[in-house]
C-alpha cells in the first residue's frame, strides 16, 4: 500500500453523485455488505432534480415509471400528483427515499470529487476532493449523471454584461423574480422550451434566441386522483416487468402498425391518435420506422410541422419555429405546453441566431447582426457536455496513470456498454456513452438495471476472492463495433445534437447512446453475468 493510501480513509466503494443512480448505488452496495462513501457537490440529494430547478422543469416520463422499484412499501406510500410531475415533486420524492433508507448518512455533501487515481500495486482507487478528503476504495462508482456538466458557450464579451446570467442547470435555490424584467433565453431544447412557456406570462419582455427549431409533442398532463393512484400502484409489479421489456424503458413500445400501407385519411387518423396521448409515445411508442426509414420519418415530420404551424399566428414566426434541417425524432423530442402560444404574445420575440447571429454581449444586453436588445436577465438553456462531461471534469487516472480525459481525446470515447472502460479497473459508470441509459431510455429504468448489474459484478469479484475487474480490449472493441453498426441503421447520426456529441466543440462525433434497445441491452448484460463476465480481465 502506498503512503497516500495508508493515510486515507478506507472504504470498499466510493460513490460519486447523489442522483437517482448514486442513491440507488449506495443502497445496493450496502446490501451487498460494502462499506461505502458517497460524495455529492450539491448540498442535498437529487442530482438532476437538485440542480435543474429552473421554472417549468418537469419530467417527460410518466410519474409511475419514473421511480424506484426496489421497495414495495415505497411504491405503496408515495403518491404522485400528476402524470408528468414538476421538478419540486421529483426532488421531494428523492429526499423522501433518502430519508426512508438513510441514504444521507453515507454521503458527504457540498463536496466535489476532484481526482480518482488507480494504484496498480494496491489495486485500489484513491479519491480526493475539494474539501481535502482522501479516501481509498476498492471500487469506484461514477454516478455523475449524463446531463450534469453545463455548457456555457463562449460568447464574446460575456463578462461585460451588467445584468444576471443564469444557466438552467445551476438555477439559484432562492428563485428569480421575473416581474417586469427584460429576459433573454438562449437555447430551445427540452429545457429552453420549458423555461419559455413558463416565464412568458411572468416577464415584462422575452427574447428567445433559437438556433435550431425542434419538433415537439403537446404534453397531456392530467392530475391523478385517488382511484388513478390506487390503480397505478396495484399495477406496479406488471408495470415494472413491462418497462424492463421495452425498447426505451417506457411502458409503451414499438407497434406493428403498417402506417405506409394506409390511405391518407387512415394514416392521419392514426398519427392523431398517437399524438393525442400527449407523451413521448408518439415518438418511441409508434413505429420503429420513424427512426430507420426516411420516407416514414418524412410522414411524421410533415405531420408535426403542420401541428406547429397551426398554432402560430404570424406565418413568418411559424416559418422559424418549424424545423427545417432534420427529421422528426432524430434529436430529443421535447414535450411542451402552450410553447407556441407564447410567440403569439406581443411581449415575446423570436430571434433566429442562424439568420441573425449573436455578435456579442454588451453591458446592457445582447447584440446580434440585427441590433442590440436590452436585457436584465439572460438564461442559458444551452445544454450539457452529455455523457462524458461529468466524467472528464474529474481527473480520473487508470492503469499506468493514464488520464481518462486524454485517453478519450486521443483515442476517441470508448467504453464497454457504458459500464466500464478498458484500462480503468473497478471503475463503474451509469449513463455513460454506449449504453441506452445515455439517451434512449426512460432514465430510471436503465439506471436501476445498470446499478443492479454493477452491484452483482462487484459482489462476484469479492466473493471469488479477486481484487479487480475490467473489460478486456477485445470485448470493448466488439461492443463499439456493434454499437456503431446499430447506430448507423438509424437516422440519428445524420443530425447534429448532444446525442452525437456535436454540441461540444472538438468532441468526437459518435452516437452517445446504444440504439439497439434497452431490453436487448439488458439481455446482453444478463448474459455477461451468467457467463461470469467472459471477456473481462479479473485479477
Contact between 442 and ligand NA7 per CB under 6 A: no
Between 468 and 512, CB nearer to ligand NA7: 512
Q: How far apart are CA 178 and CA 409, in angstroms?
A: 41
Between 27 and 198, CB nearer to ligand NA7: 198
CB 117 within 8 A of CB 394: no
Q: Which residues of 41-67 are buried (b: 16+ CB within 10 A; e: fewer)?
A: bbebbbbbbbbbbbbbbbbbbbbbbbb
Between 371 and 465, CB nearer to ligand NA7: 371
Angle at 101 between CA 98 and CA 103, to 5 degrees: 50
CB 447 within 8 A of CB 437: yes
Please state the closest distance from residue 205 (CB atom) to ligand NA7, in A: 19
Between 2 and 495, CB nearer to ligand NA7: 495
Q: How many CB atoms lie within 10 A of CB 485?
A: 11
- Select the span of 14-22, 173-181, 208-216, 296-304 touching ligand NA7 (CB under 6 A): 208-216
Contact track, ligand NA7, 96-135, x by CB under 6 A: ----------------------------------------
Sites for ligand NA7 among residues 144-203 (CB under 6 A): 147, 153, 186-192
Which one of 90, 212, 420, 435 is in contact with ligand NA7 (CB under 6 A)? Answer: 212
Which one of 322, 353, 359, 524 is in contact with ligand NA7 (CB under 6 A)? Answer: 353
Q: How far apart are CA 373 and CA 367, in angstroms?
A: 6
Q: Map residue 223 onto helix, strand or coil.
A: strand
- Beta strands per DSSP E along 211-330: 217-218
Between 59 and 318, CB nearer to ligand NA7: 59
Contact between 332 and ligand NA7 per CB under 6 A: yes
Between 75 and 318, CB nearer to ligand NA7: 318
**Helix-strand-coil split of the chain, %, nearest 5:** 40, 20, 45
Please state the closest distance from residue 381 (CB atom) to ligand NA7, in A: 5
Please state the closest distance from residue 259 (CB atom) to ligand NA7, in A: 26
Q: How far apart are CA 479 and CA 292, in angstroms?
A: 21
Q: How many CB atoms lie within 10 A of CB 321?
A: 23
Q: Map residue 16 onto helix, strand or coil.
A: strand
Contact track, ligand NA7, 470-509, x by CB under 6 A: ----------------------------x----x------
Q: What is the DSSP string of 317-368?
A: HHHHHS--SS-TTSS---EESSHHHHTTSTTEEEEETTTS-EEEE-SSEEEE
Which one of 56, 383, 444, 516 is in contact with ligand NA7 (CB under 6 A)? Answer: 383
Residue carrying the nine cell digits 475539494: 130
Contact between 418 and ligand NA7 per CB under 6 A: no
Between 305 and 332, CB nearer to ligand NA7: 332
Which one of 126, 197, 205, 382 is in contact with ligand NA7 (CB under 6 A)? Answer: 382
Residue nearest to ligand NA7 (CB): 189
Q: What is the DSSP string of 43-70?
A: SSS-THHHH---TT-B-SS-GGGSS--S
Count of residues that interact with ligand NA7, criterion CB under 6 A: 20
Contact between 218 and ligand NA7 per CB under 6 A: no
Which cell is 264 given?
391518407
Please state the closest distance from residue 439 (CB atom) to ligand NA7, in A: 7
Which one of 112, 211, 311, 462 is in contact with ligand NA7 (CB under 6 A)? Answer: 211
**Residues found near ligand NA7 in the complex (CB under 6 A):** 147, 153, 186-192, 209, 211-212, 332, 353, 381-384, 498, 503
Amino acid at each position: 500500500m502506498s503512503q497516500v493510501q495508508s493515510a486515507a480513509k478506507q472504504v470498499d466503494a466510493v460513490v460519486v453523485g447523489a442522483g437517482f443512480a448514486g442513491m440507488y448505488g449506495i443502497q445496493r452496495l450496502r446490501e451487498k455488505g460494502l462499506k461505502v462513501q458517497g460524495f455529492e457537490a450539491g448540498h442535498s440529494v437529487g442530482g438532476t432534480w437538485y440542480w435543474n430547478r429552473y421554472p417549468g422543469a418537469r419530467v417527460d416520463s410518466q410519474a409511475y415509471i419514473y421511480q424506484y422499484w426496489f421497495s414495495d412499501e415505497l411504491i405503496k406510500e408515495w403518491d404522485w400528483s400528476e402524470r408528468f410531475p414538476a421538478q419540486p415533486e421529483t426532488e421531494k420524492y428523492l429526499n423522501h427515499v433518502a430519508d426512508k433508507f438513510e441514504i444521507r448518512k453515507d454521503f458527504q455533501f457540498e463536496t466535489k470529487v476532484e481526482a480518482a487515481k488507480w494504484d496498480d500495486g494496491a489495486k485500489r482507487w484513491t479519491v480526493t476532493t475539494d474539501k481535502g478528503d482522501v479516501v481509498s476504495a476498492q471500487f469506484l462508482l461514477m454516478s455523475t449523471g449524463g446531463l450534469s456538466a453545463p455548457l456555457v458557450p463562449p460568447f464574446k464579451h460575456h463578462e461585460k454584461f451588467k445584468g444576471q446570467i443564469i444557466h438552467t442547470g445551476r438555477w439559484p435555490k432562492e428563485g428569480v423574480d421575473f416581474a417586469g424584467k427584460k429576459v433573454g433565453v438562449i437555447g430551445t431544447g427540452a429545457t429552453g422550451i420549458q423555461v419559455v412557456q413558463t416565464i412568458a406570462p411572468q416577464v415584462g419582455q422575452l427574447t428567445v434566441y433559437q438556433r435550431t427549431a425542434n419538433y415537439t409533442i403537446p404534453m397531456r398532463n392530467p392530475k391523478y386522483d385517488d382511484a388513478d393512484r390506487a390503480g397505478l400502484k396495484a399495477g406496479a409489479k406488471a408495470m415494472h416487468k413491462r418497462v424492463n421489456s421495452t425498447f426505451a424503458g417506457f411502458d409503451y413500445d414499438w407497434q406493428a402498425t403498417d402506417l405506409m400501407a394506409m390511405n391518407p385519411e387512415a394514416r392521419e387518423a392514426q398519427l392523431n391518435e398517437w399524438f393525442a396521448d400527449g407523451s413521448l409515445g408518439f415518438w418511441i411508442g409508434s413505429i420503429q420506422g420513424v427512426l430507420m426509414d426516411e420516407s416514414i420519418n418524412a410522414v411524421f415530420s410533415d405531420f408535426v410541422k403542420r401541428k406547429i404551424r397551426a398554432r402560430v399566428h404570424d406565418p413568418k414566426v411559424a416559418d422559424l419555429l418549424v424545423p427545417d434541417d432534420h427529421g422528426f425524432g432524430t434529436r430529443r423530442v421535447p414535450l411542451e405546453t402552450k410553447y407556441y402560444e407564447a410567440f403569439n404574445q406581443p411581449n415575446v420575440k423570436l430571434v433566429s441566431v442562424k439568420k441573425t447571429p449573436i455578435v456579442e454581449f454588451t453591458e446592457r444586453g445582447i447584440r446580434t447582426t440585427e441590433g442590440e436588445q436590452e436585457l436584465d436577465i439572460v438564461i442559458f438553456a444551452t445544454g450539457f457536455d452529455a455523457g462524458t462531461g461529468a466524467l472528464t471534469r474529474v481527473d480520473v487516472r487508470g492503469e499506468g496513470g493514464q488520464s481518462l480525459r486524454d485517453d478519450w481525446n486521443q483515442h476517441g470515447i470508448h467504453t464497454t456498454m457504458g459500464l466500464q472502460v478498458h484500462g480503468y479497473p473497478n471503475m463503474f459508470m451509469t449513463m455513460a456513452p454506449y449504453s441506452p441509459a445515455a439517451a434512449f431510455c426512460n432514465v430510471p429504468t436503465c439506471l436501476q438495471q445498470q446499478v443492479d448489474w454493477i452491484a452483482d459484478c462487484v459482489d462476484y469479484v469479492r466473493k471469488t476472492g479477486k481484487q479487480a475487474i475490467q473489460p478486456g480490449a477485445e470485448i470493448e472493441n466488439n461492443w463499439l463495433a456493434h454499437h456503431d453498426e446499430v447506430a448507423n441503421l438509424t437516422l440519428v447520426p445524420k443530425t447534429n445534437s448532444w446525442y452525437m456529441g456535436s454540441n461540444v466543440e472538438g468532441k468526437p462525433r459518435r452516437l452517445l447512446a446504444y440504439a439497439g434497445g434497452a431490453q436487448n441491452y439488458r439481455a446482453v448484460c444478463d448474459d455477461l453475468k451468467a457467463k461470469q463476465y467472459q471477456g473481462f480481465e479479473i485479477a
